């Protein structure tokens, strides 16, 4: 086809189409779509019981703190870009904010290093008042207007007082999120370390408090041996128990979840916490401007490859067998005619 002295063969048409696709790629094609994102503060229990090795595959290949760190790294990989993650630690009776939630994709390396650096030696006290630490974490998340993930084994040290779980003074459900129970269901010894971080054994019964004798005595205190309302309100016998052994306190954590309006999930029972996080929190929708310029760019590349392929095909030598046979037949025919004359 010829128009204004330009021969519009197939290659010319493909070349013009590739040019148009390239121009479209340069200009850009933008698509606006709604994307659900997460804004969450992760607080990790770094108390001594989190050193217990009952996590991983095979079981016992990771301690609880290592499993919690891995779960947060997996979370970063699962949630979409534009999501925000903050980090904090819990020990004694309060949660401590390390940094506010930041965008995960642009700060992935820094976030991963911060999570990997969490260590039990960052703790400033050895006590573990889980309920109070959770309430403190909820207050921090509320001030940041973020959701909360609280990763802990639920091991209270010292044990809860006889009066039970302290009351939650906030509004249940005001902060959404997860309590993630970290640890196995079977009781195992808690490792003991020296000041240099070397394991020197496990905790014995006499190393840890077996009950909590702060506050009011139990109702049956008068029936205990050696009871004295002033000098021995809890009785005279030493406390006994197995607080030197640890397991995930799922029932206690589920009770705390019900009190605070959070959701509970056991880390051993899920491959990733991100689906549970999204189901437990209110949707946060962000309009994402997506540049689709790669679509016409790929189309232009395919067209150029097609043009190149056509050029290669046309440059190939054509078979001459039929032409040679035709010439030979003509020559034989002429010979017959000459002899006939």
pLDDT of 85 > 90? The answer is: yes
What pLDDT does residue 6 have?
Answer: 56
Mean pLDDT of 114-142: 95
177-181: strand order across its sheet: 94-103, 84-91, 39-45, 147-152, 177-181, 263-266
pLDDT in the model for residue 319: 66
Structural contact between residues 163 and 213, judged by C-beta atoms closer than 8 angstroms: no
Q: Say which residue, 258 or 237, is predicted with more confidence.
A: 258
Contacts 24+ apart (CB under 8 A), 170-173: 170/135, 170/138, 170/139, 170/142, 170/260, 171/261, 172/259, 172/260, 172/261, 173/260, 173/261
Q: Tell me: the pLDDT tens digits for 29-60?
A: 888 889 999 999 999 999 999 999 999 999 99
State how far the Cα of 102 lies from the Cα of 58, in Å rounded to an integer: 34
CA of 55: how far to CAs of 75, 93, 99, 245, 247, in Å?
A: 18, 25, 27, 15, 11
**Where do the domains of the chain lie?**
2-29+292-340, 33-208+243-290
Q: What span, in angstroms and rounded, lies between the C-alpha atoms of 150 and 44?
A: 6
Residue 201, strand partner residues: 192
Q: Is the peptide bond before 153 cis (omega within 30 degrees of 0)?
A: no
Question: How far apart, in whole angstroms, are the C-alpha atoms of residue 283 and residue 20?
Answer: 40
Whole-angstrom distance, CA of residue 123 vs CA of residue 298: 54
For residue 99, give every residue at least 6 positions away whose Cβ sits within 8 Å of its Cβ, in sequence order, or none: 86, 87, 114
- Residue 229 pLDDT exceeds 80: no
State what percent of residues in the chain have pLDDT above 90: 60
Helix intervals (H) in 86-240: 108-116, 130-144
- Report pLDDT digits (tens) over 269-311: 888 899 999 999 999 998 888 888 889 999 999 999 988 888 8
What is the pLDDT averaged over residues 129-151?
97
Q: Is the pLDDT of residue 93 over 50?
A: yes
Residue 103 CA to residue 332 CA, distance in Å, equals 86
- Name the residue with higher pLDDT: 154 or 240: 154
Mean pLDDT across the chain: 87
pLDDT of residue 100: 98
**End-to-end Cα distance, the chain:** 50
Q: Look up the CATH superfamily of 33-208+243-290.
A: von Willebrand factor, type A domain (3.40.50.410)
Distance of alpha carbon 180 from alpha carbon 185, whole angstroms? 14
State the pLDDT confidence band at 157, using cuts at 50, 70 and 90: very high
Q: What is the pLDDT of residue 1?
A: 53
pTM of the entire structure? Answer: 0.78
């Amino acid at each position: 086809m010829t128009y204004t002295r330009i021969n519009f063969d197939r290659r010319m048409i493909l070349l013009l189409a590739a040019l148009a696709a390239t121009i479209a790629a340069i200009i850009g094609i933008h698509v606006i779509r709604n994307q659900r994102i997460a804004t969450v503060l992760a607080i990790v229990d770094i108390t001594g019981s989190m050193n217990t090795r009952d996590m991983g595959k095979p079981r016992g290949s990771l301690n609880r703190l290592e499993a919690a760190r891995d779960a947060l790294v997996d979370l970063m990989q699962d949630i979409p870009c534009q999501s925000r993650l903050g980090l904090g630690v819990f020990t004694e009776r309060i949660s401590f904010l390390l940094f506010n939630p930041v965008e995960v994709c642009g700060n992935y390396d820094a976030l991963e290093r911060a999570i990997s650096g969490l260590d039990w030696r960052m703790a400033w006290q050895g006590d573990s008042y889980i309920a109070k630490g959770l309430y403190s974490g909820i207050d921090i998340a509320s001030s940041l207007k973020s959701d909360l993930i609280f990763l802990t084994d639920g091991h209270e040290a010292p044990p809860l007082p006889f009066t039970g779980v302290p009351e939650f003074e906030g509004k249940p459900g005001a902060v959404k999120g997860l309590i993630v129970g970290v640890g196995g269901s079977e009781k195992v010894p808690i490792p003991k370390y020296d000041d240099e971080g070397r394991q020197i054994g496990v905790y014995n019964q006499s190393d840890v408090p077996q009950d909590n004798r702060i506050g009011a005595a139990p109702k049956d205190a008068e029936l205990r041996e050696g009871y004295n309302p002033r000098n021995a309100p809890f009785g005279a016998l030493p406390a006994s128990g197995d607080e030197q052994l640890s397991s995930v306190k799922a029932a206690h954590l589920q009770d705390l979840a019900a009190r605070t309006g959070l959701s509970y999930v056991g880390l051993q029972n899920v491959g990733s916490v991100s689906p549970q996080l999204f189901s437990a929190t209110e949707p946060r929708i962000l309009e994402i401007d997506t540049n689709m310029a790669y679509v016409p760019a790929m189309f232009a590349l395919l067209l150029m490859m097609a043009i190149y392929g056509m050029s290669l095909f046309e440059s190939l030598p054509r078979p001459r067998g039929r032409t040679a046979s035709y010439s030979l037949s003509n020559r034989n025919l002429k010979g017959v005619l000459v002899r006939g004359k």
